[in-house]
Structure 1
Amino acid sequence: MTTDDDFLAERFEAHRPHLRAVAHRMLGSSAEAEDAVQEAWFRLSRSGAAGIDNLGGWLTTVVGRVCLDLLRSRGSRAERPLDAVGPEPADTAGPEQDALLADSVGVALLVVLEALTPAERLAFVLHDLFGVSFEEIAAVVGRTPAAARQLASRARRRVRGAEPAGGDPARQRAVVDAFLAAAREGDFDALVEVLDPDVVARTEAGITTGALAVAKGASGFAALARLSRPALVDGRPGLATLVDGRLDRVLGFTVVRDRIAVVDIITDPGRLASLDVRLV
């Protein structure tokens, strides 16, 4: 016989993968991400779901609040910044296990996010990567929605302007060219190779995360890829798709450590008109 507690646990488990993804991008550590998700469960089990209209949204903001407290605590204890290798490997782990752990964290995206303050990081991750409203983010960071919007905007500028190790423009251009060649051929494996394991692709319609999912989408881009040309998009490497001589869409890339960490896909005419797009 299923009890109320069992039903609540089942509902929570349905949200666990999403919550783990949020916490992982916030904290850069699998172990700490699991702790943050477990804390969200403790709070839910104590309070119950009565009166919660949107359980997924409630849990996301709770995890965000827990992660923000952890990030601020790190700073107050003057701990080292988030590193790109994630959780410490077990004593028995060898080089192969180390590499798998690093890939699971999403090295490139974490390197980019290191440049942000805890509040900026939370606003950027929750809004840009997971679509949480600024009203909800404001409640987490203790600021107004307008201030939360400014946090995300400032974080966005820092992410786009970040040049971690391996930020040579020629090398970044080569990575984007490799992406274009693979997309034109519909070469799934080559696309996965050039993408960071935790790559984020953002469109006006939504967000896709993970190399396999992004590569799947890009492999269906072959026809438009043949109409695309290398470009600089607001000064960073990108692609411009021209249809009948008209700018149809633009892809802007954030390249970190020779992998694509973020892809911004812009198709809205108003946004396209605001971009500085220069064909290479």
Structure 2
Amino acid sequence: STNQDRQIERIFKSLEDTVIRNGQAMPAAELESPVRLEVTEPPALSSGELVTVPVSVFDPDLRTMQQQAAPDSAWNSLEDYPQPLQYVEKQIQVLQSDGKFYLANERVKQVDALALLPTPAVGAEPVRDTSSILPPEGVQSFSDVKAMQSAQLGDNAFLQLMAFYHLDSSLKYLSSLSYDLFEEPLRFDGRGLALDNSSYYTGSRALMLGVGGVSPDAADADVILHELGHGIHYQIVPDWAYGHT
């Protein structure tokens, strides 16, 4: 691997033993003991039909869209942003089931994260870890198309729409290149972590986005696609620790 100056820092003798622990090369912890997630799922696709609707999102993010220069000092809230909010209209394919609309299709689906489930030690009881997970909010649903179209930054639903659109678009693009890497819809929660950080969990093939900073991670497509990148790398080379991608 190289540093930011493109100088070689590490040469790996193995694609499996990629970390040093107590002087010994061994597999990374996330491959030895992958963390799984407990989630609430949306209705099955077989319960309804897929429909295409227009929604408003940022692409890729508000500052880039508006060519807004970096501030002299940090913005501490949405009110500090100097321009009116601007959106672009995009088409998404979603599930209509039992009179409601859900962010789910054959490629990606929104879930509500409830807890992390680390792999227990041999003989130990499983432990639910909720310390970094937002309180349950339920799977995002919409009563009608208008409710989807009216979601804006500041609404919980907007973050889920952002993550859904950008993940789905990227997976469709990969498929157009004949890369069908995921055997089932990719799970995500645009409001999954109560942290200023986001993660891809290999154990559940799930992407969780954080809301702990001034700007939630799902408001920026670059963050969404960064985490998707970890998932793509894992699907291509599953014995290569995603921290090294």
TM over 0.5: no
Whichever structure has more helix as a proportion of its residues is: 1
Whichever structure has more strand as a proportion of its residues is: 2
